[in-house]
Structure 1
Amino acid sequence: MTTTQDTIHETAAQGWVGRGIPQVDIEAKLRGQTEYIGDLRLPNMAHAAIVRSTVAHGRIRGIDTSRAERVPGVLAVATAADAPEVKFGPYTPDWEILARHKVRFIGDEVAAVAAIDEPTARYAASLVEVDVEELPAVFDPFAALAEGGPVIWDEYADNVSTLFTIERGDTRAAFDAADLVVDDVYATSRMYHAYLEPIGVIAHYVDGVHVLHVPSHIPYRARQTYSAALGLPLDKVRLVVPPIGGSFGAKYEMNTPLIAALLSRKAGVPVRILFGRDEDAAYHRPRPPFVFRNRIAVRADGTFLGRETDVVGIAGARTYWSPATVATAVHRPDSLYNFNAMTGRGRLVYTNESPTTAMRGFGNAEALFGIEQMIDEIAERLDIDPVEMRRRNIVQEGETSLHGWYISSSQLPACIERVSEMSGFADRRRARPPATAGERVGKLRGTGIALGHHVSGYRPILPDYDGSSAILRLGPDGSIQLYVGEPDVGQGHVTVMAQLAADELGVAPAEVKVQGIDSAFSPAAVGTLASRAATMAGMATVAAGADARRKLIAFATEQWGVPEAAVSWQAGTLTDTTGANEPFTLRQALHRYGVVNCGLPLLATGVHHPKTVMPDATKYGNASAAYPFAAHVAEVEVDCDTGQISVVGYWAAHDSGTVLNPQTARGQVLGGIAQGLGWALMEDVIMSEGVVRNPNFLDYRIPGAGDMPAGVEVEFVDAYEPNGPRGAKSLGEVALNPVVAAIANAIYNATGLRCKDLPISPERMWRYLHLGEPVESSSAGAIR
């Protein structure tokens, strides 16, 4: 086994890393040959439907399943009585497989039915009678925080599921010394993850083991959660991860697989639960809305002195991954900018609504929406160029941030310079100052800039360990199989892993088969989240490749009877430099290895231990081995007659270290821009009295090709990260983080109006333009 700390004398062939090749699995996807969860069929598989609460808050007095059980074709009906009486969850123990004593939101899972087909299951589910004593409900987070209101969980009488507080430096002194203090409130919206593949799972209880076919980013941690919920040891739960048709954070851990597991054990056959789009959009876990009150203290020369923030987020009726998201929203901007001192508080509040969870950007994108607009406001009030304002205050390479992040590499200054040049930012701003009241007619154009950063992995996610491991199985037939524990969620992970392995072994990426995740065979990994997959699994893959070369060299040494120093490795060929033996190609060496070892494949392993430090309770510590950066510029056109906003130009410059695959990397950035555009201008899960009013793609609109600006320009600056594979670091989330703020700053530059609440829809913009109603949160007064 080789670790990334070992000294590796052999050099891998360099050729595939850095090439913009198509994804290795693209042909199967285009031909419809990829089997997603909705395509999988197991013998005798049953289909299930979930019985959901129709009231937002109530006490369960009884559940009558008798009529459902009598329906021909029904195989099993499950209620909480079929599950262990245990509360569990990834952060807060407020999960139940099925509601036992109370329902807490419209859609809460009360019972489930398995039948021979979906229509039968749905019909039988409609016959389950749930007797509920309705209780007062609360839907506004500030009403939930008020004394005397409904209590959703008895264990949390103040309805605060998570309280996070932090203080660095002397914030009071910073504000006392300030020449300027800006103070404002910003709010972000609920956002549906809008993946193409709705939630689905197949559970099969066989030989005492719950086999769960489930698309999960984090199968190892999910397996821990599921085994605890079922009251079983870890080896009695197996996760098999099929290809994932998108997620963006929604498919970390869910209770749907557990419901299917109960039904499968009871019915004695495999059971599939597959949501329709309306069920998925109405009841699955959106991005949590946040309300931020931010204060920033500044010197007259534009130097930041301190920052205060108070964040209120909506958990809904249970907590999934929102506790970590609210903590991120409180403190992460302080590792992009040197605020020098900060005080923060974050509260995640229970309401009688569908639970929320993490989404791409993970609190960082939410925080930057307000922070980046406030930086523009500061620049305007101090008459400093907004690019220069940012340049003066960013955390630089080699520095340690306020929260202990060591910035081992940063080309953010180069990103700022490049995006300014690409977009002609200074000329555009000089040509079009913000419109005044009398000038808000016709169509106005404006340009805005914003910066972003993120992690490449995050140490606290799995307390057992950080890092990654990889296994290479090199068969006597020349086949190459790579096993890592991080699933591909559509971002092209298997392709860059194949490229890295190909360079290590001197073959083409098409010859490397990156295996799907199965907890029975795959390494146990932290998972694909926190922008860690390419960097962590990539480092482990490089180490496994080095281990394979080392073992092949040792084998050739033994076969040829020469000193190890006489054996060279070059581009997949082993050569005896004494000239006494004919060279071995990789395929020849593997065949010979199999013959000598009675058919045994050559197994190579690699382990990567990143240079991270577990943050303390206040989040101080070098939480990631590397940090990516980006600078974005957006140009918008605002139609003052209709309030319609169009993004007509976009430029992005990124520091992602070595770009492993320029083609997939560009796709990541374009996807982040599209997602941010939707969040900024149109996407909003509309809730009314606990009911989602737009659970479909007709009423919940996401961007189409026509919404994207023509000719988006994306560049990657020349950079190298010493702690990443071949110098790479992450890209997936930083691609989103600056987008919404850049668009909002562009809208201000066009109209002179500061928009503080998402989405900035045509109606909201029109009302601001014509009625003077600010586009700001209705909760602004409450958090002040």
Structure 2
Amino acid sequence: MIQPRKSKNDLETKVTGKTQYLHDMNLPGQLIGGTFRSPLPHAKIVKLDVSKAREAEGVVAVLTGEDVPHYEFGPTKFKDWNILAKDKVLFIGDEIAVVAAETKEAVDRALALIEVEFEELPAVFDPEDSLLDSVPEIHPGVERNRQMHVLVDRGDTAQAKKNAHIVRGGRYHSNRIYQGHMEPIGVLAAWSEEDGLTLWAASHIPYRARETYAAGFGLPEDKVRIIVPPIGGSFGSKYVLKLHLTAAALAMKTGRPVKMILDRAEDMLTAHPRVPLTYDIEVGAAEDGTFLYKELIVYGDAGARIYWSPNVLMTACTRTDCIYNFGSIKAEGHLCYTNNSPTTCMRGFGNAETLFALESVIDELAIGLGMDPAEIRLKNIVKQGETTIHGYKLDTCNLDQCIEKVKEISGWERRDQLPPNRGLGLALANHVSGFRAIDPRFDGSTAVLRVTSAGEIELETGEIELGQGMSVTYARMASQVLDIPEELIIVKSGDTGKYPFGIGTLASRSTVMGGNAVMKASQEMLQQIRELIRQAVGQGAVFSKGVVSHEGKSYSLKDISAWYRARHAGDEFTVKMTYTPNTEMPDASYFGNPSPNYPFAAHVAEVEVDPETGRSRMIGYWAVHDSGTIIHETMAKSQVIGAVAQGIGWVLMEDFVVKEGRVQNPSMMDYRMPGAKDIPPIEIAFIEEPDPNGPMGAKSIGEVALDPVPGAIANAIAHATGKRAYRLPLSAERVWSLLHE
């Protein structure tokens, strides 16, 4: 039987190959599922014939849009999802029919027997083009295909423009990239009238996914249960997925479990990559380098349906304004439907892309003013105790120290003495530790602690471990409060039918939100343990390292569990506590304090550019972070190293190429990701100051570690070549073209 997640420390099981991922899980009588997808980006379904597929040997069920419900639903407020297309397809890969059969071979035979006749419709693939009146309407009622429009205006930008001594800007483009998770998308679905729908699915927001799936089938939420197996990577790809719905539909139809796992080609062909963004950006400064205004227009490609792109656009239009004091800001964002595959979030979503553009422009201002790029940043950054232009309250902010430290460890003073074709680039970043707008209804986290009869502490949470080390972090927090060895603490999560509600692992929220709940529950349990010890053995007992010592006798956690059960009619010794932060939902103008605290970072990249080929080789990388108290230094440094490696891949080599809606490189052979030899030595330092709103003083680190990387590398290449690149990736071909313009 498939067991829910139970982990003291999953590192050992992963490195020894014992971890049971979804691919390893099976249920008695399960069927294999497959999907018949649209080969066209935009078309009416004139005729669909699945009769031959239904009669094929080994086939148990074939479903089309006629066989599934069609409620208005979706993971955000924009309800544009379906389970299967009924009348029209909107992108290459759109789901038309699904098959459940006894074997994978039978599924493939049945899919080949499905016959469909289309009436092809005009398609649009560029978000700016989709705004034109002449372009077809992709979703009825969405005027000019613009599903979301962001307007932010603070200060007097018009007057600031008149006062500006220097203005720099341009049009910048961030590209689609594939999240590159090692484990492809998959699901195992089961249905019974008594229990409802159960999904084993690698989602790191299972409660939000449950809500979406229940709405899709018109079920009450308590009839949908999601159990999260160990996740083999995500970086934002595994939130809420259509594959989970189609497997559920097949399980409900057949009454048997259905397993669907995409192979790598299908995973990439139907991928929901990072949202590509186009920026028109302009920043003006006074003669002394003081920033006077920033103006921004952003175009985002949502693809054919809304996944999590609205959050990306909102972040792109606002968050970087809270690194610098711009005086005045004006931003407009357009999130547009196209006939591309839907896009979604990826690590640092919206923030890292904008920083590529903004940090490039700031370097251009420094050049124009004859200032050091570090100097102009130090002159304009936000400071501790300030409230930013969008309402972020900075109880702690050591960005100035981050800049000074990264200058020191990178040898920034040698910047003007580097050999030819070598460059040093600096970039800054901020992020959040949770974000109130993710779910306006609730913004906290709940933790349950239980003393088991075996003498261990079970720690249950609604947040999800996806490889970021959350389980180890929570165990360490509880261990330090309770004075109990970490190895006695078992962290459990990932079951909506068993563990407490959680928003999930996104917006860098797990350490601060979940950690604060763990701290509260641990503190409450410690008080109750001390009172229970007083009742059981009397005054003078000492509780240390999970052992009670009193008058020469020792008692273990097993004894503590037994004492409690004896006094509470056999009930387990359990504590449940909820942390609710004092955050604010941003208002209609996007003003508010949406996070308990805010991490900051300063990075420096060193590159060498080969003028003959345009290839950029990383020489070194230095990262300094203000993430509050570092709870587990090895894991924190690993987060930074992984983020830098991911950023190097994004900036120098990765490009998820889509032409007229079709992925051109749906293979890991054609989609180049960095290997060990592509990663330079990385030196990391932390500026530690406990934040009053973080557990043990901690702030987040997982996403802010990626955010500065594109800007730092882009600035290093510009320093090495004297040429500014405006479009990611900065591949060898693109840099060579710049050098030979």
After TM superposition, the score normalised by the length of structure 2 is 0.97
How far is 1:35 from its partner?
0.9
1:537 equivalenced with 2:514 (yes/no): yes
Paired residues of 2:485 and 2:546 also in contact (CA < 8 A): no
SS of aligned partner of 2:669: coil
| Partner residue of 1:110 out of 78, 84, 96 | 96
Paired residues of 1:260 and 1:271 also in contact (CA < 8 A): yes
Amino acid of the structure 2 residue aligned with 1:106: I
1:523 equivalenced with 2:500 (yes/no): yes
User: Relative to structure 2, which stretch is displaced further, 106-115 or 29-38?
Assistant: 29-38
User: Relative to structure 2, which stretch is displaced further, 526-535 or 90-99?
Assistant: 90-99
| Partner residue of 2:711 out of 729, 732, 741 | 741
In structure 2, runs of 5+ residues without a counterpart are 1-6
1:759 and 1:482 map into 2 onto residues whose CA distance is: 43
SS of aligned partner of 2:447: strand
Equivalent residue, structure 2, for 1:507: 484
Q: How does 1:422-441 map to 2 (within 5 A)?
A: 422-427=409-414, 429-432=415-418
Equivalent residue, structure 2, for 1:82: 67
Paired residues of 1:476 and 1:599 also in contact (CA < 8 A): no
User: Relative to structure 2, which stretch is displaced further, 27-36 or 596-605?
Assistant: 596-605
How far is 1:596 from its partner?
4.3
Equivalent residue, structure 2, for 1:56: 41
| Partner residue of 2:633 out of 634, 637, 662 | 662
Q: How does 1:123-522 map to 2 (within 5 A)?
A: 123-206=109-192, 207-427=194-414, 429-432=415-418, 444-522=421-499
1:717 equivalenced with 2:687 (yes/no): yes
- 1:414-439 CA-partner distances (Å, limit 9, x unpaired): 11111100000122x12149xxxxxx
| Partner residue of 1:572 out of 538, 546, 550 | 546
How far is 1:600 from its partner?
2.8
Paired residues of 1:23 and 1:664 also in contact (CA < 8 A): no
Amino acid of the structure 2 residue aligned with 1:309: L
1:93 equivalenced with 2:64 (yes/no): no
Paired residues of 2:532 and 2:563 also in contact (CA < 8 A): no
Amino acid of the structure 1 residue aligned with 2:655: D
Paired residues of 2:124 and 2:339 also in contact (CA < 8 A): yes
How far is 1:72 from its partner?
1.2
How far is 1:597 from its partner?
4.0
| Partner residue of 1:557 out of 510, 527, 534 | 534
1:511 and 1:81 map into 2 onto residues whose CA distance is: 53
Q: How does 1:739-778 map to 2 (within 5 A)?
A: 739-770=709-740, 772=741
1:534 and 1:115 map into 2 onto residues whose CA distance is: 43
When the two chains are superposed, the root-mean-square deviation of aligned CA atoms in Å is 1.6
| Partner residue of 1:610 out of 581, 588, 593 | 581
1:262 and 1:595 map into 2 onto residues whose CA distance is: 47
SS of aligned partner of 2:625: strand
How far is 1:170 from its partner?
1.3
Paired residues of 1:205 and 1:264 also in contact (CA < 8 A): yes
SS of aligned partner of 1:250: coil
1:586 equivalenced with 2:557 (yes/no): yes
How far is 1:593 from its partner?
2.5
Paired residues of 1:412 and 1:630 also in contact (CA < 8 A): yes
Equivalent residue, structure 2, for 1:122: 108
| Partner residue of 1:698 out of 669, 672, 685 | 669
Paired residues of 1:338 and 1:401 also in contact (CA < 8 A): yes
Paired residues of 1:53 and 1:107 also in contact (CA < 8 A): yes
Equivalent residue, structure 2, for 1:8: none
How many residue pairs get aligned? The number is 733
Paired residues of 1:48 and 1:122 also in contact (CA < 8 A): no
SS of aligned partner of 2:23: coil
Paired residues of 1:57 and 1:103 also in contact (CA < 8 A): yes
How far is 1:23 from its partner?
8.6
Paired residues of 1:553 and 1:574 also in contact (CA < 8 A): no
SS of aligned partner of 2:143: coil
How far is 1:561 from its partner?
5.4
Equivalent residue, structure 2, for 1:16: none
In structure 1, runs of 5+ residues without a counterpart are 1-21, 434-442, 773-784
- 1:4-62 CA-partner distances (Å, limit 9, x unpaired): xxxxxxxxxxxxxxxxxx99211111121111111111111111110000111011123
1:614 and 1:667 map into 2 onto residues whose CA distance is: 32
Amino acid of the structure 1 residue aligned with 2:238: K
How far is 1:305 from its partner?
1.1
Paired residues of 2:455 and 2:556 also in contact (CA < 8 A): no
Paired residues of 1:447 and 1:635 also in contact (CA < 8 A): yes
Paired residues of 2:196 and 2:223 also in contact (CA < 8 A): yes
SS of aligned partner of 1:503: helix
- 1:246-270 CA-partner distances (Å, limit 9, x unpaired): 1001111111111001000111100
- Greater relative contact order (CA < 8 Å, ≥ 6 in sequence): 1
Equivalent residue, structure 1, for 2:4: none
SS of aligned partner of 1:210: strand
Amino acid of the structure 2 residue aligned with 1:131: E
Paired residues of 1:107 and 1:283 also in contact (CA < 8 A): yes
How far is 1:587 from its partner?
3.7
Equivalent residue, structure 2, for 1:628: 599
1:569 and 1:311 map into 2 onto residues whose CA distance is: 58
After TM superposition, the score normalised by the length of structure 1 is 0.91
- 1:359-411 CA-partner distances (Å, limit 9, x unpaired): 10110000000100111111111111111111111111110000000011111
User: Relative to structure 2, which stretch is displaced further, 493-502 or 358-367?
Assistant: 493-502
Amino acid of the structure 1 residue aligned with 2:86: R
- 1:562-583 CA-partner distances (Å, limit 9, x unpaired): 5xxx66644434466xx6x956
Amino acid of the structure 2 residue aligned with 1:169: G
SS of aligned partner of 1:647: strand
Paired residues of 2:463 and 2:493 also in contact (CA < 8 A): no
2:241 and 2:174 map into 1 onto residues whose CA distance is: 24
1:262 and 1:481 map into 2 onto residues whose CA distance is: 35
Equivalent residue, structure 2, for 1:644: 615
Amino acid of the structure 2 residue aligned with 1:41: N
User: Relative to structure 2, which stretch is displaced further, 464-473 or 546-555?
Assistant: 546-555
SS of aligned partner of 1:518: coil
Equivalent residue, structure 2, for 1:25: 10
How far is 1:504 from its partner?
2.2
Paired residues of 2:8 and 2:487 also in contact (CA < 8 A): no
- 1:466-511 CA-partner distances (Å, limit 9, x unpaired): 1101001111220221100111111111111111122222222222
Paired residues of 2:228 and 2:495 also in contact (CA < 8 A): yes
How far is 1:208 from its partner?
4.8
Equivalent residue, structure 2, for 1:675: 646
Amino acid of the structure 2 residue aligned with 1:536: M
How far is 1:619 from its partner?
1.4
How far is 1:525 from its partner?
0.8
1:499 and 1:372 map into 2 onto residues whose CA distance is: 37
